Structure 1
Amino acid sequence: MIEAAMIWNEPNNKSHWDPEIDPDWSKYAETVILAGRAIRSANPGMTRLLGGMSPIDPLWVRTMERHGALNEVDVVALHGFPLDWNLWQIDEWPNKIAEIEAVVPDKPIWVTEVGVGSFGAEEVQLFGLNRTAELLIGRVPRIFWYSLYDLPQSWGATTRHREAEGSSYYRHFHMGLIREDGTPKSALDHYARYAAEMGLMQWFHYHDPRLDDAVAWMKRLGVRHLRTGLSWADSFRPDAIGWFDRQMEALADFDVTVTFCFTPEHLGIAPHHTSPAREPQAFADFCAWMIERYAPARATLPAAVTA
């Protein structure tokens, strides 16, 4: 049920990886190397992704190359939000992809998170959805639209800045195609036209009450590809495996790209989910455990047996 595994989420964004602890990303690179090897050992056929970068930065990719991290991934992933957070226009998407292709010509580029919010107006989201589809479908092998649901106001966004971001913080709560109360926005029907070619990125929180409804919506829309996450930090919660099993069973009909991220406070250099781990091999072991549980390698029988 897992077709690809991403090693962390937006590691060049300080909301997700602490640059004060790891200013040259050498600790992240070590994390990628160990996790990439662990995933490959658990399932040699699993596609491994470098954590989707935000901002899109060819210099950061070269840093990963110098540290040796690119040797242990198969795909380089991009995240972009030009109408909400990025300082470039939506029509620059092809150029942004080309900048990274120039650095890693031997690896596919996936756009694993792209979205436009309805913070200002639903018409803006509708325009952004249609223009994104025009620019990206056929340009890269995988696209994941963020997201199916608005983030509930009571949950809070995963960011270090919070209200200090001004309106940028509040945009986090308006990125979905469906409002918090479950009613669809005007872009939802338009998304259905692209669902087979442009998948969805949807985080599911621990015991997320939206899971079953999300599966029903995605099947109705014709979604084939889904990106979501399995949190290393959540693996230490009560009944974590019960929740992981329920989540992955519910998503069994989709081709899932799973993101492994979030450091447990007691295992970080600092007690925060953005901190590098004190022992990055522990994170690699978590990745291998999840792959062995949900996407084990299939044994290959000798030809004489299968004939």
Structure 2
Amino acid sequence: MIDAAMIWNEPNNKSHWDLELDPDLRLFAETAIAGARAIRDANAGVPRVLGGMSPIDAGFVRNMEARGVLDHVEAIAVHGFPLDWNHWSIHEWPRMVAEIRALTHLPVWVSEVGVSTFGAEEVQAWGLARTAELLKGEAPRILWYSLFDLPKAWGATTRHREAEGSSYYRHFYLGLIREDGTPKPSLEVFARHTPDLGLCQWFHFEDHRLDDAVAWMRRLGVRHLRTGLSWADWYRPNAQAWFDRMMDALAEFDVTVTFCFTPEHLGIAPHHTSPPLRNEDFAEFCHLMIERYAARTGIVPAAAARRAPFDATAGAA
């Protein structure tokens, strides 16, 4: 079921919002407020979350407060990847969360945190264990990114791709499970921390990994999942059938849906990071998604079921 609705993903990052078109984020603030109002109108019981900022930036929070965005959300989220992209130590996680918590009365979620196996799989296993140790008790929601490695043939959702150098290729190694479906050592580490740790797993349009993801999450005891409902994907052929299938498959989990990615024909610029031409179009999408999916309920949540000790060698089935 839908547990929360997140408005955009990393809006203060040029890979996900066009900061050349909107350098002071005025347009984003207007878009976010329009989406938040639509979510509230569709279902007042769904908490609204301001999309996970990356980098973690007090200035972004102050900007959003000044523009009235924080009056329209029930939580604010941060993303951090200190062993791969950020310029701070993994040991600073409590300080980074506290810095944002001091600026607002809103709960601060960690809606993406991860470590790639770009250099060594052992680094991820250690980083996951240390992250859990540092963050459990610091944030009401901690979501590990991600369950699966990104297939190399797909490409990462970022505007700059190979121009980012090795930073780009780290996107492909953030999963607990390799592209060939075999588990990494960190999968067993993760299993020790569920349900305190949830997952952030983005599913591509008609993603062949959906059923395997559900099977793994059940076995791992995952309760909370964050994923995306792409506004841009909504205009693909058979989009409604795919969205229905994905949300039905995930119904037993507490799902935070993320509304983001501008359809090319509805943006100021023809790109998924563009501000919309009309905020009403984004609001209409948010309203429709909440109206269609927030009422869907699942069976017994995975984490509520008693499970045997996790065995990574057993596979997902």
TM-score by length of 1: 0.95
Partners of 1:207 and 1:63 in 2: how far apart? 37
Q: Which residue number corresponds to residue 301 of structure 1? A: none
Q: Which residue number corresponds to residue 147 of structure 2? A: 148
Q: Which residue number corresponds to residue 191 of structure 2? A: 192
Q: Which amino acid aligns with 2:192?
A: R
Q: Which residue number corresponds to residue 103 of structure 2? A: 103
1:214 CA drift (Å): 0.5
Q: Which residue number corresponds to residue 236 of structure 2? A: 237
Tell me if structure 1 keeps the 8 A contact 2:61–2:103. yes
Q: Which residue number corresponds to residue 92 of structure 2? A: 92
Tell me if structure 1 keeps the 8 A contact 2:251–2:296. no
Partners of 1:296 and 1:253 in 2: how far apart? 12
Q: Which amino acid aligns with 1:107?
A: L
User: Could you list the per-position Cα deviations for residues 157-194 of structure 1 after superposition, in whole angstroms to 9, with x for gaps in the alignment?
Assistant: 11122111111011000000000000000000110011
Q: Which residue number corresponds to residue 40 of structure 1? A: 40
1:16-165 matches, within 5 Å, as 16-104=16-104, 106-165=105-164
Task: Report the identity percentage.
Answer: 69
Partners of 1:163 and 1:101 in 2: how far apart? 35
1:296 CA drift (Å): 3.9
Q: Which amino acid aligns with 2:224?
A: H
Q: Which residue number corresponds to residue 304 of structure 1? A: none
Q: Which residue number corresponds to residue 226 of structure 2? A: 227
Partners of 1:297 and 1:48 in 2: how far apart? 18
Q: Which residue number corresponds to residue 201 of structure 1? A: 200
Which 4+ stretches in 1 moved above 6 angstroms? Answer: none
Tell me if structure 1 keeps the 8 A contact 2:49–2:75. yes
1:137 CA drift (Å): 1.1
Q: Which residue number corresponds to residue 286 of structure 1? A: 285
Q: Which amino acid aligns with 1:130?
A: A
1:45 CA drift (Å): 1.0
Q: Which residue number corresponds to residue 271 of structure 1? A: 270
1:248 CA drift (Å): 0.2
Per the alignment, in what secondary structure is the counterpart of residue 144 of structure 1?
strand
User: Could you list the per-position Cα deviations for residues 45-70 of structure 1 after superposition, in whole angstroms to 9, with x for gaps in the alignment?
Assistant: 11100010000000111001111111
User: Could you list the per-position Cα deviations for residues 27-82 of structure 1 after superposition, in whole angstroms to 9, with x for gaps in the alignment?
Assistant: 10001111111101111111100010000000111001111111111101000000
Q: Which amino acid aligns with 1:127?
A: W
Partners of 1:296 and 1:181 in 2: how far apart? 35
Tell me if structure 2 keeps the 8 A contact 1:45–1:297. no
1:297 CA drift (Å): 10
Tell me if structure 2 keeps the 8 A contact 1:33–1:69. yes
Partners of 2:160 and 2:238 in 1: how far apart? 31
Partners of 2:171 and 2:34 in 1: how far apart? 32
Q: Which amino acid aligns with 2:170?
A: R
Partners of 1:161 and 1:127 in 2: how far apart? 30
Per the alignment, in what secondary structure is the counterpart of residue 155 of structure 1?
coil
Partners of 1:160 and 1:207 in 2: how far apart? 22
TM-score by length of 2: 0.93
1:288-307 matches, within 5 Å, as 288-296=287-295
User: Could you list the per-position Cα deviations for residues 189-232 of structure 1 after superposition, in whole angstroms to 9, with x for gaps in the alignment?
Assistant: 11001121100000000000000000000001110000000000
Tell me if structure 1 keeps the 8 A contact 2:226–2:258. yes
RMSD over aligned Cα atoms: 1.1
Partners of 1:264 and 1:5 in 2: how far apart? 19
